[in-house]
Structure 1
Amino acid sequence: MIRPAQPEDHPACAAVFLAAYRQAFPLHPPDYYVPERYFESITGEEQWVAVQAGQIIAVLSIYWPENFIHSLYVEPRLQNRGIGRRLLEAVVARAKGICELKCDKVNKRAVAFYEHLGWCEVGEGEAETGPWVRLRK
């Protein structure tokens, strides 16, 4: 089931975020992976979740005024099963207009995932975390 996140979902969302983030970006020191990192990252955004057997297994954060998808994370043990695609497509279908996102280039799996789903590169830049690519659908 895909639905908007509720306030009581946020601890489970943070757990998914941290597990997936740690897998995608393993080079940070251990104290980098804390729930506050998730809560700081979602300010002003709406979260959507994928739920399976009553458990949150994926989370997407979107900033609606710009149709900007800030993050999409799937529980690592459940990746490559179409969960992220379904969550992403459900949220994009609700958007009024074009959606965009940024993805760190070092996260090659994520870049390939978005490109496979038809997202097109429209820009690039540099951040504290390194080079990124901007994609549009």
Structure 2
Amino acid sequence: MIQIREMTTQDKPSLRQLYLESRRETFYWDDPELMHIEDFDRDTEDELIFVAESQQKIIGFISLYVPDNFIHCLFVDSSFKGQGAGHLLLEKAKQQLQRPLKLKCLSRNAPALAFYEKEGWEKVHEVKIRDAYWNMIYR
């Protein structure tokens, strides 16, 4: 059973580790040496964060920039993918943000793009810069 709850200060070490490991695994094309444990703090500053937990273990999180109805980060531990944590985190975001919800997803992150489309998100516009990404919307 997966529970979704707001992050507490005690969650930070686990979230920092999950964020680092997930990015190193997912973004295999980037240099893992440029990714650091403290990136989580910088990348989620001023964001509302919810965690997915299973049997007292944090298995994922979502970070929301509420003023823009924007989902900034959504990461699930690879050993728990496909078990519904990502879906539940998106459902929590829908309760917290006003529609339309927005996010950006790297173009070469095919599994994430497929996940968001399955969840009802639409690709709006592809931005082709160094790391091309899709602006996506949920109406």
Considering the TM-score relative to the shorter chain, is it more than 0.5? yes
Contact 1:125 1:133 in 2 (8 A): yes
Give TM-score, length-normalised by structure 2.
Answer: 0.91
Shift of 1:64: 0.3
Match of 1:104 in 2: 106
Identity of aligned residues (%): 30
- 2:133 alignment partner AA: W
Structure 1 runs not aligned, ≥5 long? none
Match of 1:94 in 2: 96
Helix, strand or coil: the match of 1:28?
A: coil
Distance 2:113 2:73 in 1: 13
Distance 1:37 1:46 in 2: 16
Helix, strand or coil: the match of 2:38?
A: helix
Contact 1:22 1:33 in 2 (8 A): yes
The Cα offsets for residues 5-34 of structure 1, whole Å up to 9 and x where unpaired, read as 112211111111112111111233332231
Distance 2:56 2:136 in 1: 32
The Cα offsets for residues 105-137 of structure 1, whole Å up to 9 and x where unpaired, read as 010100010001110112221455x10001111
Contact 1:19 1:76 in 2 (8 A): no
RMSD of aligned alpha carbons: 1.3
Distance 2:89 2:129 in 1: 26
Aligned residue pairs, count: 136
Give TM-score, length-normalised by structure 1.
Answer: 0.92
